[in-house]
Each structure stands twice: as C-alpha cells, then as structure tokens.
Amino acid sequence: MKSSTPKSRKAIRRMSEKRFAQLGGKAFSTIVAKPRRQSVKRKPRSPEEYARIYGSKARVAFVKSLGCVYCTALSPFFGLATAGRSDNAHTVSGGKGRKADYTTIIPLCRNHHRMYDEHRGPLANQTVRDVMKSAAAEVERMWLAHSLGRA
C-alpha cells in the first residue's frame, strides 16, 4: 500500500494548487504562510539620555566585565560562573517606557537578565529581587572605587 503523503514542500504546494483548481478557484491551501516580522528601527539615544541611563561607556564596559550576580552567587554549588559575559541590567523601572538611572544597574548574563525582566523562574521571588536591587548599590560602590583608582 502506497502512502499518499507528500515527500516535499513542492509536492504539498502542487497538491494544494491541484486541489485549488478542483474547488473551482475557491481559496484553499495546505500551507499557511506566517507574516514576516517587521523590524523596529529605534532612534539612537541622545548623549544626555545615554549618560542618565548607563553612565559613561567606561562604566558600561566595567559592569560588563563583572560576572553575572546570580551565577556568581550559585557558582560554588553549580559551577555556573559566566566569567565576565554579562549585560547591564536595570533593577528598577524608570516608569512606563523609561529606564531608571545608572545607579540601579547590575551585571546579569543574558539568560538571567531575560528571566529577571520577565519575572520568571527563581528571579520571580520578591526576596531574590530585593537582594538584586541591593547588589546595585555594591556595583556602584565598586565602580566609584575603580574610577578613582582604588580598585
């Protein structure tokens, strides 16, 4: 017994065109095309806005050089340290559509940054989030010591 399932997308397309003709030109298709995703072009931040949100470019590089706060806290138990592959994560919202000041930034790896922003997994716990917010003050203290040459 032969299987009537098509082996390729071309075969599916041919079958649907054939079926389209059988139905007398009425819309029918076995393939549903997804609409193309539109890329959003954001305007670049003004230098004043960048300075308010991130501080200086040197500060951004310094925070990125630090390990993920969450991974570093768990690394003795699970070996998850990310060795300086972190993003600048704001721990406080600056309001709808705004980012808070640079003093609320901590280093988080991409995975934990996404989890923190989406309130998922272990970073959904309010106690953990409060600890992260207090870590921002420590990062700011470390930056000030570094920038004054007392690292």
What's residue 27's pLDDT?
A: 53
What's residue 47's pLDDT?
A: 87
Residue identified by tokens 């590089």 is 61
What's residue 32's pLDDT?
A: 57
Over residues 69-97, the pLDDT tens digits come to 888 876 556 555 555 578 888 888 866 67
- Tell me the whole-structure pTM to 2 decimals: 0.63
| Domain chopping of the chain, boundaries | 47-147
114 burial type by CB count under 10 A (0-12 exposed, 13-18 middle, 19+ buried): middle
Within a 10 A sphere around the Cβ of 85, how many other Cβ atoms?
Answer: 14
What's residue 82's pLDDT?
A: 53
What's residue 145's pLDDT?
A: 92
C-alpha neighbours within 13 Å on the C-beta side of residue 142: 15
**Does residue 129 carry a pLDDT above 80?**
yes
